[in-house]
Amino acid sequence: MRCWEDSVTLIPFLPFLPFFTFFNFSLFPALRRVDFFEKIEVVLNFVKDNEK
Helices first, then strands: H and E counts in the chain:
3, 0
Higher-pLDDT residue of 46 and 7 is 46
Task: Report yes or no: 46 and 7 within 8 Å, Cβ to Cβ.
Answer: yes
Task: Report yes or no: 20 and 10 within 8 Å, Cβ to Cβ.
Answer: yes
Q: What share of the chain is helix, strand, coil (3-state, %, to 5)?
A: 85, 0, 15
pTM of the model: 0.33
Query: Which pLDDT score, from 0 to 100, does residue 1 have?
Result: 47
Evaluate the CA torsion angle 3, 12, 16, 42 in order and state its sign.
positive
Report the range of poorest mean pLDDT among 8-12, 15-19, 38-42, 48-52. 8-12
